[in-house]
Chains A and B, each alone.
Chain A
Amino acid sequence: MVPDIDGQLHHFTNVGLYDGLFVMQDSETKTLWNHITGEALYGPLVGHNLGPVGNLLQMNVKQALAMDPKMQIAISDRIYFAGGRQFGSAGGPPNGGTRQHGPNPNAEMGDRFVPTLGKEDQRRPRMELGLGVWTSATHRYYPMERIRERGQAFIDQLDGRKVLIYVNSDTNTPAALFINASTAKIQDVEIRLDNGAVVRDGVLFDRGGKRQAMERPQQVFSRWYGFALTFPGCKVFGE
């Protein structure tokens, strides 16, 4: 997102919940903002947007370096764990010190979240995990179970373009990537496309092994309620 409004830098903080999702507030005008779409929700800047939003992709360090060997990183003073060691000094350990591998698919919504919800879409279970993808014309949710039913990698159409929907096997997170192929199949840790291209460590290579430029649609790994309340009436893949 771009934190500039009318050319002026604004400073944002997570200040609370709405629809079970965290809400941002800028300190300059106190306006509340949707953290997924960047839309102003309440306050004097309603009508403004912090777009383009951009993706925040989940991966691991190995994949990040495969994506770009010149990748930069910023590390704050918060405690974190890496390679079995603890780093940082501020705050408590993440997740209360319990090691977790991704979000809990069987989690229940906390009591504090429920009163903030709007009218829920009952088509899917509230806490189901999946990939939300959106363009200006299409809002679509891919439940994890449907991605797995399709072999963890398949091709769909998004606004007339072919898009690969897959599960990153290292992080168990779903992702979407525009490609030029008709079928996809996971083989070992690679996704093989019928045009000879391969997706390995989240990077697209052509049949000759040459790295290809990648374009991804806007996407978010989200629970159903979050995506459905953000994009009411969204399509659900397979329905």
Chain B
Amino acid sequence: MRKASFGQFSKALGMLLVLAGVGAICAAVSFAQANVSAQLPNGPAKLGFDIQRFSSNSGIFKTFSVEQTEPLQKVLKDGRVAEDTPVLVTVTAAGNFALLTDQMVFHHLAQGHAGGKDWMAAF
């Protein structure tokens, strides 16, 4: 079903580039992955989508399940971030919200619940 499956899991994360820029920036990454493919349904496909070009990554990236947040001011005061630390900012039903770019280069996805609504950020 899938055309390309990645080879051995080796140095996968260490080779990730910074600033995926919502994925498209990450294209220079050359990572190898375990030879395990994502489970796929049997279609249907959106018009123009070619499943033969899909390449599984074996699920090495773990979505950040956000259970709690804290004030950025406090985290800065505590010295756990610096003023020049890169962050990604989005808006949830509870207000403005930041994620660490360094961490999202790995997670790619973050999901949570805020202000009574579910949200998801993709990087």
By a beta-carbon cutoff of 8 Å, the part of chain A in contact with chain B is 1-4, 9, 11-25, 29-32, 35-36, 39-44, 46, 50, 54-62, 64-65, 67-76, 78-85, 87-88, 91-97, 100-104, 107-113, 115-118, 127, 129, 170-171, 173, 220-223, 225-227, 230
Contact = CB atoms under 8 A, between A and B. Distances in A.
B41 A115 contact: no
Interface of B: 2-4, 6, 11, 13-32, 38-41, 43-46, 49-51, 53-57, 59, 61-64, 66, 68-73, 75-76, 79-91, 94-103, 105-112, 117-123
A78 B103 contact: yes
Contacts of A60: 83-87
B13 A92 contact: yes
Nearest to A53: B122
A75 B25 CA distance: 22
A72 B71 CA distance: 4
Contacts of B66: 74
Contact of B50 (A79, A111, A118): A118
B102 A16 contact: no
B105 to A, nearest CB: 5
A104 B17 contact: yes
A45 B107 CA distance: 24
Contacts of A71: 71-73, 89, 95-98
Contact of A2 (B19, B61, B117): B117
Nearest to B106: A78
B120 A127 contact: no
Contacts of A80: 100, 102-103
B21 A103 contact: yes
A32 B111 contact: no
3 closest A-B pairs (Cβ-Cβ)? Answer: A226-B24, A107-B28, A110-B30
Contacts of A64: 72, 87, 89, 96, 98
B41 A67 contact: no
Contact of A22 (B19, B50, B53, B108): B108
Contacts of A46: 43-46
A22 B23 contact: yes
Nearest to A36: B22
Given A71-B97, A112-B30, A61 B90 contact: no
Contacts of A43: 40-41, 43-44
12 contacts: A12-B111, A15-B56, A19-B53, A29-B41, A56-B121, A58-B86, A73-B100, A74-B68, A74-B98, A75-B75, A75-B80, A220-B22
Contacts of B16: 94-96
B106 A74 contact: no
